[in-house]
Amino acid sequence: MKGIVFTEFLEMVESKFGLATVDKIIERAELKTGGAYTAIGTYDFNEMLQLILNLSDEVDIPVDDLIHAFGVHFFNHLKKAHPNIFELYKSPMDFLNSVEGHIHVQVRKIYPGAELPTFEVTKTSPNSMEMIYSSQRALYKLAEALMMKTFEHFHQECTITYEKLNPEGTRVKFYIIHND
């Protein structure tokens, strides 16, 4: 997992829960890095899992909700860091349709070593779309947040639901509806 995800995650923890919480969740984890990350480095995903689990314990908020909140924070970062990518798209459906074939392809060039999910679009119509998320990291709550923020970015309303295709959540089917 890229360092930018760790640095943004810790930034979110600091802004929502304070620096003392950042220190606590790092201290309680067994981290090879000791909690020092650079944006361009690549680190073990297990460190992120430990940080999220410790945070959930510390602030008594379910892991799923924390991952969703991180997705919201991460989207705002992506918008600031990569405005040129956003400018290429005119609608949320176009944008989401392009994550696999264009956006994450660009991401691989910008962040060598990025570990990305795959999205398979299984159905589209002008106002709806179905896509299957696959990743060993099971960050489908992050995907859900990024999809919702995509609609907000384009000032559009949506309804997003999902169905886990396995208990681990490494394959999850999303049903995305663009509300008029």
Single residue of 1, 26, 51, 148 touching ligand HEM by CB under 6 A: 1
Size of residue set near ligand HEM by CB under 6 A: 25
Single residue of 51, 142, 148, 176 touching ligand HEM by CB under 6 A: 142
How far, in Å, CA of 111 to CA of 142, rounded?
Answer: 19
* 172 lines the binding site for ligand HEM (CB under 6 A): no
15 touches 3 (CB < 8 A): no
Single residue of 51, 139, 158, 176 touching ligand HEM by CB under 6 A: 139
Alpha-carbon distances, residue 1 vs 57, 70, 132, 172 (angstroms) = 22, 15, 21, 20
178 touches 93 (CB < 8 A): yes
Single residue of 12, 22, 93, 103 touching ligand HEM by CB under 6 A: 103
List 164's β-bridge partners, or say none.
172
How far, in Å, CA of 133 to CA of 172, rounded?
Answer: 5
Residues 73-92 touching ligand HEM, rule: CB under 6 A, are 78, 82, 85
How far, in Å, CA of 99 to CA of 85, rounded?
Answer: 11
Measured on CA atoms in the order 67, 131, 107, 136, is the torsion positive or negative? positive
How far, in Å, CA of 12 to CA of 17, rounded?
Answer: 8
CB of 143 to ligand HEM, least distance (A): 4
CB of 136 to ligand HEM, least distance (A): 7
CB of 20 to ligand HEM, least distance (A): 26
> Which residues are at the interface with ligand HEM (CB under 6 A)?
1-2, 4-5, 78, 82, 85, 96, 99, 103-104, 107, 111, 114-117, 135, 137, 139, 142-143, 146-147, 150
